[in-house]
Structure 1
Amino acid sequence: MYILVINAGSSSLKYQLFDMPSDKPLCSGLIERIGTDEAFIRHKILTSVPAQTIERKATIADHTAGLQQMVYLLSDAQIGIIHSADEIQAVGHRVVHGGERFAGATLITPAVKEAIKALFPLAPLHNPVNYKCIEIAEKTFPNARQIAIFDTAFHQTMPAYAFRYAIPEELYAEDGIRVYGFHGTSHKYVSEKASAWLGKPDAKLISLHLGNGCSITAVQAGKSIDTSMGFSPLAGLVMGTRSGDIDPAIIFHLVSNGYSPDEVNDLLNKQSGMQGLTGLNDMRDIRKALEAGNRAAALALDIYAYRIRKYIGAYAAVLNGLDALLFTAGVGENDSAMREQVCSSLDVLNIHLDSSKNSTSSSEIRDVSRAGAAVKILVIPTNEELEIAIQSFELLFPS
């Protein structure tokens, strides 16, 4: 069956079309900078040999226009995969926040849509966009079943002592203030790949999703038992523009010195992290600055790696052992120097990286740990769209 996966960000739209149960996409696409005059579309037809890529700039006012472009490319007379929208039998949607209610793939009903809407305040940049894409897809593909895959769902297995904050009970019971965690779809995908690669279903794993947003998750026997992002995606590791963990008293200090709450929110989410430390948020640009002798870049990279090492130590203790350390997402998969920096000085955990293995690249899982090392260091390309397609198919056809 044809399953279309829609992964919408605040100003972007990724999609893949699968003929399930095959895990090979028929086509994929990315639309960036939605809402600007410099929007960019990259559409790949993967059924042709070699794969055909269409790239062009366009003015795409909103996600509605973006989805219209997607449908046009999918059904184009010359390059299209489908002849009409009726051929799409299911649409899997990435939804960032599912609160405590959703712990797995969910068939979208009016009640589910209302629940997603009720969570807008907890994910104001993403859930409204995810909701809008659901509504557009319902109209565009009226015969398809719409399915939500929540980023928070994988972390619903965390024990209460890991997800509760030490604040008055009513703030949890009435306002839902707790650790939710994010990047769950990615952490689930790579941890399952790692367990299969190791041949160990009960593996103790630490999964590092390092991109512009970063999070680390402790996984045992396929379940999330702790994660670095919290009530929002702001907590935890140092990120591209987010501060990560910070003393909450700093917020009060800033407000008492003239910052408005909105300004503090903007500061910590959009002007901090690597951006705040270096004026740059792309790791590739920071690497270039380091090569040019930029001392701020050197310090920022030290801070970034140090924060990760602290969490690795904490989660190794939580797991009471470790079988493998997993690197994934843009930085995790592609920045060999950061992997080496993170893995340095972790001898006490039996984590030893092989520099020659680490310098190679591949689209497959690869082991970059030293021969004979007790803890494997695995680089695993993530594929959130495939994971969404798999969960959608399994929901419709449970084994």
Structure 2
Amino acid sequence: MTSVLVINSGSSSFKYQLIEMDAETTLARGLVERIGTDEAHIVHHDVTDSGEEETHEQTRAIRNHTEGFAAMLDFFAEHGPSLTEHPPVAVGHRVVHGGARFFEPTVVTNLVKINIQDLSELAPLHNPANVEGITAAQESFPDVPHVVVFDTAFHQTLPPKAYTYALDAATAERYRVRKYGFHGTSHKFVSEEAARFLERDVADLNQIVLHLGNGASMTAVRGGKSVETSMGLTPLEGLVMGTRTGDIDPAVAFHLHRRADMGVAELDDLFNKKSGIYGLSGHRDMRDLTESANRGDTASRNALDVYVHRLKQYLGGYFFQLGHVDTVIFTAGIGENSAEVRAETLDGLQNYGIELDAARNERRGDGIRVISTDESSVTVLVVPTNEELEIARQTLSVI
């Protein structure tokens, strides 16, 4: 069997997943968190021969990512599956920001790591941690290729008219200011899965993908290529999110600096961590927000209305950019699970060829499902995302 180990590293944690690629099934997955403390936590899920998932946990001191990978290997050895019986042929790594330099999965070299580190100014919370994870993984798996897959890569097909900001051109060029887009691995995966489900060539489809989780983005996909997306230089631009503002007048920052004496760090924290639906309502979870709104809480109702209003705004804009739309796809935690958000987003769009089937929309399921009526000229789908599988696929494609 051919197995790929997928790694998603953060500054004090990393997630992992061992995927058997012949059947594209997960053999094990886990999380190592609170790295750098005496109370680091490891949780490891392995799939038994009968198909059941077993969970194993431990708290211990882990000083750095290298020790974290050693702990992961201990769990594989003790609880399985055996990496001797399922040796990964490669390790695939998620990297958040590839700038304009990386537009496809890339085998890791020292020069590649230097470039990822150099792009840290565009993703200071993510790229350094990604490099740290890559280095630690190379120490644990020195004899197999390591491949990096970038969140921004799918959006490298954006045309200049879409990625260019109307900023002084010399300043923009000097400081690499442009739209890059994010969640590209998810947008690519679900748009291609939707085409397979519909038994259509992705090259023949115009699609709009709504990746709605705590972070949220929307992408217009023409013929399998991203032509417009909502996130920009950073993941702050675009839709209203769990704790991020999304689109906001840039002068709000100037105003708060002058009137509230807020500095850059305070504004960054306010816009990224204390705003969005949390800032409007006090709720961090969409389930709590919708329940509160339905009970009549005014702040919650307003937050949900603002959230949906922004979705409709982008959805309409992407309809006009594409000219015609074949599919609208909901994915990620909110997109896959909130029937209410889907219904409110698509309400009143019958004149644009979107007819939601209320019963299909309410029905839950694990796989891809159609939630539009049979008469709807635009097919509306719920497509579960699987970024780890997409990373594994792209990793195999280059080795």
| TM-score category, normalised to shorter length | over 0.9
Q: Which residue of 2 aligns with 1:139?
A: 139
Q: Which residue of 2 aligns with 1:326?
A: 329
What secondary structure, in the 3-state scheme, does the structure 2 residue paired with 1:205 have?
Answer: strand
Is the Cα–Cα contact under 8 Å of residues 66 and 139 in structure 2 kept in the other structure?
Answer: no
Distance across 1 between alignment mates of 2:393 and 2:44: 22
| Match among 202, 221, 224 for residue 222 of structure 1 | 224
Is the Cα–Cα contact under 8 Å of residues 353 and 377 in structure 1 kept in the other structure?
Answer: yes
Is the Cα–Cα contact under 8 Å of residues 207 and 220 in structure 2 kept in the other structure?
Answer: yes
Is the Cα–Cα contact under 8 Å of residues 21 and 390 in structure 1 kept in the other structure?
Answer: no
Amino acid at match of 1:370: T
Give the superposition deviation at 1:12: 4.3
Give the superposition deviation at 1:35: 5.8
Distance across 1 between alignment mates of 2:120 and 2:95: 11
Q: Which residue of 2 aligns with 1:235?
A: 237
Instruction: Flag as ranges the 4+ runs of structure 1 deviating above 3 A.
Output: 9-12, 30-42, 59-66
TM-score relative to the length of structure 2: 0.94
Is the Cα–Cα contact under 8 Å of residues 237 and 247 in structure 2 kept in the other structure?
Answer: yes
Greater shift, 33-42 or 349-358, is seen at 33-42
Distance across 2 between alignment mates of 1:192 and 1:373: 21
Greater shift, 287-296 or 216-225, is seen at 287-296
Q: For residues 335-376 of structure 1, what are the alpha-carbon distances to aligned partners after superposition, in whole Å with 9 as ceiling and x for unaligned?
A: 111111111122232111111001111221100001210001
What secondary structure, in the 3-state scheme, does the structure 1 residue paired with 2:389 have?
Answer: helix
Q: Which residue of 2 aligns with 1:392?
A: 395
Give the superposition deviation at 1:33: 5.4
What secondary structure, in the 3-state scheme, does the structure 1 residue paired with 2:185 have?
Answer: helix
Q: Which residue of 1 aligns with 2:210?
A: 208
Amino acid at match of 1:27: A
Q: Which residue of 1 aligns with 2:19?
A: 18
Alignment: residue pair count: 394
Distance across 1 between alignment mates of 2:315 and 2:53: 41
Cα pair distance change 1:140/1:367, threshold 3 Å: same
Amino acid at match of 1:352: E
Q: Which residue of 2 aligns with 1:290?
A: 293
Ranges in structure 1 where 5+ consecutive residues have no aligned partner: none
Distance across 2 between alignment mates of 1:337 and 1:31: 34
Q: Which residue of 1 aligns with 2:175?
A: 175
Distance across 2 between alignment mates of 1:122 and 1:6: 21
Q: Which residue of 1 aligns with 2:4?
A: 3
Amino acid at match of 1:375: V
What secondary structure, in the 3-state scheme, does the structure 2 residue paired with 1:89 have?
Answer: strand
Distance across 2 between alignment mates of 1:53 and 1:37: 25
Give the superposition deviation at 1:121: 1.1
Give yes or no for the alignment of 1:52 onto 2:57. Answer: no
Is the Cα–Cα contact under 8 Å of residues 191 and 209 in structure 2 kept in the other structure?
Answer: yes
Distance across 2 between alignment mates of 1:40 and 1:282: 24
Amino acid at match of 2:72: M
Ranges in structure 2 where 5+ consecutive residues have no aligned partner: none
Distance across 1 between alignment mates of 2:163 and 2:115: 21
Give the superposition deviation at 1:9: 3.7
Give the superposition deviation at 1:10: 4.7
Q: Which residue of 2 aligns with 1:374?
A: 377
Is the Cα–Cα contact under 8 Å of residues 98 and 151 in structure 1 kept in the other structure?
Answer: yes
Is the Cα–Cα contact under 8 Å of residues 95 and 150 in structure 1 kept in the other structure?
Answer: yes
Is the Cα–Cα contact under 8 Å of residues 40 and 55 in structure 1 kept in the other structure?
Answer: no
Amino acid at match of 1:15: Y
Q: Which residue of 2 aligns with 1:74?
A: 76
Is the Cα–Cα contact under 8 Å of residues 75 and 84 in structure 1 kept in the other structure?
Answer: no
Determine what percentage of the aligned residue pairs are the same residue: 46
Give yes or no for the alignment of 1:351 onto 2:358. Answer: no
Q: Which residue of 2 aligns with 1:191?
A: 191
Distance across 1 between alignment mates of 2:394 and 2:162: 26
What secondary structure, in the 3-state scheme, does the structure 2 residue paired with 1:80 have?
Answer: coil
Q: Which residue of 2 aligns with 1:95?
A: 95
Q: Which residue of 2 aligns with 1:308?
A: 311
Cα pair distance change 1:230/1:191, threshold 3 Å: same
